[in-house]
Structure 1
Amino acid sequence: MPDHDDVDTPRGPARVETDLPAGPPVALLVLGHGAGGDVDAPDLVAVRDAVLGVGMVVARVTQPYRVAGRRAPAPAGHLDEAWIAVLSVLRARHAGVPVIVGGRSSGARVACRTAAAVGAAGVVALAFPLHPPGKPERSRAGELRTGLPTLVVNGDRDPFGVPAAGGAVEVVVRPGERHDLRQDPAGSADVVRGWLRGQGWTVR
């Protein structure tokens, strides 16, 4: 069972659910949820399960607005502020190992926007929402250009679009998947685990 606790942020308490590997941890993976979802989304749970076995601590973070019972997301600046505060606490708790940040949809955007500020080594972006549905002109591709190794896992039927690979950004497109990545979460998690292993952030 994960360890649950609340972390104070400037935007109210965030909730952190932390799972520890069986042996000494080699890295910390911090994951955020989608705008109206939670940290029990199938893809987030599958990634947690996949990487615990290769030596990673996994912390899933619930943003303060969701802890408070609201479904409508907070403004981007508030999300980023709360995330940075939580990462400060988690880095102190799990000192001495690389920190990889990520999440699904809105959580992936937060992780990208704040990656440099929190000292992340890399980013895992699940279902990155490239643009609002039907509005490709409103691209968020710039958020992915963090300069850090970044993995994007999107479905080929995602109405929010699929980012292009380039530079430090690797994109894996999952056939038949939509924005929720619910069809084969274990397969998506295998992609994430393989990429993390390739970056040297897991037990070999």
Structure 2
Amino acid sequence: MTHVTDVTSQTVGTEAGDARITWHTAKKARLVLAVSHGAGGGIEARDLRALAATLPADGVTVALVEQPWRVAGKKVAPAPKTLDTGWRGVWPALTGPGLPVIAGGRSAGARVACRTAAELGAHAVLALSFPLHPPGKPEKSRADELLGAGVPTLVVQGGNDPFGKPAEFPEGDFRLIEVPYGDHGFAVPRRADLTQERALEIITGAVREWTASLG
């Protein structure tokens, strides 16, 4: 049981094109968690679906944000600057309910949330599968984006994420939760002593605890 009053879709015009928000609205909302997808997928990602199904019961409205390139049916994400433009354009609609907004995303969406959090006045940042570096290129670190968020930040990272394993992350003013065996999409191998369902429970449990601590 999700305790969601309704699920609605909203199209929002931005300078990068039309974006889309799918609202999973809590009955007595106290926060909005806005999360966007990565460069290789959409809001159907397993972690985003799990958060939308569970968090409204805690009074957290989940807004799943589809960037304009996905709404337009394109296969390849544009440059980071264009992703930031799309996110900025959606932000006024996200703040529309008058509640504190947590900026979040997975992979490329997490980078966008970190880069724009201070500028947009985000309440906090949720970084799912933060791509600390391109696979096999740890020297090309994006840690400065994460460390520069400037607001309370939770990172949820797969233990086998080729874009950055938990042990590779620098010390900083953020909390990091590991999903054992998880890859960049939080998939766990069948041979692991952890089920896929349990992996998702780790993610949703960590986010629920963290959002409760934010007030």
Question: How well do the aligned residues superpose, as a CA RMSD in angstroms?
Answer: 1.3
TM-score by length of 1: 0.92
User: Could you say what secondary structure the match of 1:134 adopts?
Assistant: coil
User: Could you say what secondary structure the match of 1:20 adopts?
Assistant: strand
Q: How far apart are the structure 2 equivalents of 1:39 and 1:119?
A: 23
Q: How far apart are the structure 1 equivalents of 2:158 and 2:55?
A: 21
Once the two structures are superposed, residues 160-185 of structure 1 have per-residue CA deviations (whole angstroms, 9 ceiling, x without a partner) of 01352644211111111111013322
Q: Name 1:172's counterpart in structure 2.
A: 177
Q: How far apart are the structure 2 equivalents of 1:58 and 1:43?
A: 12
What is the identity percentage for the equivalent residue pairs of Structure 1 and Structure 2? Answer: 44
- Indicate whether 1:156 and 2:171 are aligned: no
Q: Name 1:114's counterpart in structure 2.
A: 116
Q: Name 2:193's counterpart in structure 1.
A: none
Q: Name 2:21's counterpart in structure 1.
A: 16
Q: How far apart are the structure 1 equivalents of 2:90 and 2:170?
A: 29
Which is helix-richer, 1 or 2? 2
Once the two structures are superposed, residues 17-75 of structure 1 have per-residue CA deviations (whole angstroms, 9 ceiling, x without a partner) of 001112x2101110000102011110011112221110011111100011111111111
User: Could you say what secondary structure the match of 1:179 adopts?
Assistant: coil
- Indicate whether 1:181 and 2:186 are aligned: yes
Bigger RCO (CA 8 Å, 6+ sep) = 1
The residue type equivalent to 1:106 in the other structure is A
Q: Name 1:47's counterpart in structure 2.
A: 51
The Cα of 1:186 is off from its aligned counterpart by 2.7
> In the alignment, is the contact (CA less than 8 A) between 1:151 and 1:170 conserved in 2?
yes
113, 121, 139: which one pairs with 1:137? Answer: 139
Q: Name 1:74's counterpart in structure 2.
A: 78
The Cα of 1:199 is off from its aligned counterpart by 2.0
More off after superposition, 78-87 vs 45-54: 45-54
Once the two structures are superposed, residues 54-103 of structure 1 have per-residue CA deviations (whole angstroms, 9 ceiling, x without a partner) of 00111111000111111111111110011011012221x211x2110101
Q: How far apart are the structure 1 equivalents of 2:133 and 2:91?
A: 27
User: Could you say what secondary structure the match of 1:80 adopts?
Assistant: helix
Q: Name 1:26's counterpart in structure 2.
A: 30
In the alignment, structure 2 segments of 5+ residues that lack a partner are 1-5, 188-195
In the alignment, structure 1 segments of 5+ residues that lack a partner are none
More off after superposition, 107-116 vs 174-183: 174-183
Q: How far apart are the structure 2 equivalents of 1:5 and 1:50?
A: 21
79, 94, 97: which one pairs with 2:97? Answer: 94
TM-score by length of 2: 0.88
Runs of 4+ in 1 over 3 A off after TM superposition: none
The residue type equivalent to 1:89 in the other structure is A
More off after superposition, 182-191 vs 113-122: 182-191
